[in-house]
Amino acid sequence: MAAPKKGRSASAQSRPGRSLALILIAIAALTGGMFLSGHPTPRLGIDLAGGTSITLTAKNEPGQPNAINKTNMNTAVDIMNRRVNGLGVSEAEVQTQGSDNIIVNIPKGTNSKEARDQVGTTAKLYFRPVLATEVSGSAASASPSPSASSSSSSKATDKATDKATDKATSSSSASPTASATSQGRAVTDALKADSTPSASSSASSSASPSGSSSASPSASGSASASAAATKLQAQYTALDCTDKAQRAKAGEGSKATDPTVACGKNNTSGQWQKYVLGPAEVKGTDIKSAAAVFDTQSAAGWKVTMEFTSGGSKKFADITGKLAKNQSPQNQFAIVLDGDVVSDPFVQQALTGGSAEISGSFDQTEAQSLANMLKYGALPLDFKESSVTTVTAALGGEQLHAGLVAGAIGLGLVMIYLVVYYRGLSVIAIASLMVSAILTYVLMALLGPAIGFALNLPAVCGAIVAIGITADSFIVFFERIRDEIREGRSLRPAVERAWPRARRTILVSDFVSFLAAAVLFIVTVGKVQGFAFTLGLTTVLDVVVVFFFTKPLMTLLARRKFYASGHKWSGLDPKALGAKPLLRRTRRPSAPVDPKEA
């Protein structure tokens, strides 16, 4: 049994070059990926590179004078944090200021416009039926056709049912087109019925003359049109969504239970559209989850999936069942966030499965943005964007320079100590430190565009602390080798006997460091997470470097005469270490051995 064991040991010792080649190939691949990604430097946090600061002020909702409280403010901070993280942003700071303000700091390098649109858009999320729509600023008879509406809208389908086909879309395109005037009259009819679009109102509107110029809600001959319907029609007629000021005031003061007007941008043509929308049928709180996924089965591209709560499922089934009976645009529902229509998909059947998907001409960014709005759209308070400012680095170049100098001094002192105390062994330690530093830098640069990691000053401190953790691993290994030499063993067996004992100590030490970093990352927020993340990353890299670089390199150098002979500058001189001759014991046979058997 002894021979195979020795064979395996010899085989393992004779192949340290494989481990070295593996880690060097990995370094080369990661470095190449870093340059190919176009991000050769780590992304800096807001304290080092500046960014955007958004101040949001909470407002009490009508009829809820005491809505601004600590619980609601903390809930709003949590939702805004998730919104920002949904954009792939890291190191963003979301915190309360005073009793009614929330400050959102977003690092430079993030799409600040997109972040502002989602973080600053803090009103409730609603699903409203579309009663009428047209391109804003166009003539009254220039209402978009259903085909244009279909192309600009996404298709909403139930997961449990067949998806809308191109044939269904072309069929929708062939339906009659209502003019802006007749659509306004249809709104009036819908308001009188129960503020819900019906098949009869759609047919009535489509049968109206497209060239009619009357905008009066009483054009159908009914003298009992309500004052609310007249006001709504007037707002719709006068609304120009190309005007930023009018967009901001569209639907101002309307309640979730009332019809309203709104604006939305056509993602295909880039034109602004104006809408008349019915009362909210589904709220953002009725959505359990939402996600952007890529459809690999039908090659339809990106889509947004939604799952509703039990109550939301029933509401969604009811509204889609009503809308499916109508023609465009009254078979559409508008997803409204802060008064803006972010999407207006159409339906062709009742969606009763409790989950649905919105598919169409999405790209990845659009799908993820809509999914984030659906998932994190409902806030417990209304907020007003008080100010948006671009901030300079809080610490600036001098502080960053000071941090880097401190790291360089610490690294230099560690190297001096290694050279003085370990002499030739310091070559292995310094080379290992350089490999660890290269891997840390490359991974930080790659994690910026990958997960939004931003390097702030606490993260720099974490990297500096990691120098000591990495050097400690080398010291444990070297001391184990020197202990074996003190016992009288030559270098090559000393290295192999020392490694299992040193390996256990290194793994336990690194596990404790990683556990501390993980707990710190979970229980803290903001900049402290940067410190914890960097500490955890460098701890993992320490294990990789020790196993795949330090140990194989030590095995190779142990075969060199300079180290194997115990040169006085090798750091492994038996005399300097006080080595004793190895005590050799002889074992006497327990029983006589038969010469024939021998």
> How many residues does the structure list for the chain?
598
- Whether the upstream peptide bond of residue 493 has omega within 30° of 0, thus cis, is no
Cβ atoms within 10 Å of 589's Cβ, excluding its own: 6
> How far apart, in whole angstroms, are the C-alpha atoms of residue 339 and residue 275?
11
Residues 6+ apart with CB under 8 A from 291: 304, 305, 371, 375
* Angle ∠(169,170,171) on CA atoms, nearest 5: 90
pLDDT score of 291: 85
This prediction's pTM: 0.53
The three-state (H, E, C) secondary structure of 352-412, written as one string: CCCEEEEEEEECHHHHHHHHHHHHHCCCCCEEEEEEEEEECCCCHHHHHHHHHHHHHHHHH
Cβ atoms within 10 Å of 78's Cβ, excluding its own: 12
> How far apart, in whole angstroms, are the C-alpha atoms of residue 107 and residue 84?
11
Which two structure tokens, joined as six digits, stand for 103? 């400050």
pLDDT score of 337: 76
DSSP conformation class of 106:
E
Say what angle helices 527-545 and 457-486 make with each other, to 10 degrees.
Answer: 30
pLDDT score of 295: 79
| Contact by Cβ (8 Å): 185, 204 | yes
> How far apart, in whole angstroms, are the C-alpha atoms of residue 51 and residue 106?
6
pLDDT score of 538: 92
Residues in the chain with pLDDT < 70?
Answer: 1-14, 61-64, 82-83, 85-91, 109-123, 137-226, 267, 298-300, 338, 376-380, 391, 393-397, 525-526, 581-598
Outline where DSSP puts E strands in 257-376: 260-265, 272-277, 282-283, 287-295, 301-308, 333-337, 340-343, 355-362
pLDDT score of 64: 66
Q: How far is CA 140 from the centre of its chain?
A: 44
Question: Dihedrals φ, ψ of 155, to 5°?
Answer: -90, 130
DSSP conformation class of 286:
G
The pairs formed by 62-69 with CB atoms below 8 angstroms and a separation of 24 or more are 62/255, 67/380, 67/381, 68/99, 68/100, 68/381
Sheet holding 301-308, edge to edge: 155-158, 355-362, 301-308, 287-295
| Contact by Cβ (8 Å): 115, 52 | yes
DSSP conformation class of 184:
H
pLDDT score of 179: 28
Residues 6+ apart with CB under 8 A from 221: none
Residue type at 253 in one-letter notation: G
> How far apart, in whole angstroms, are the C-alpha atoms of residue 281 and residue 257?
8
- Of the candidates 52, 50, 72, the one whose C-alpha atom is nearest the C-alpha of residue 61 is 72
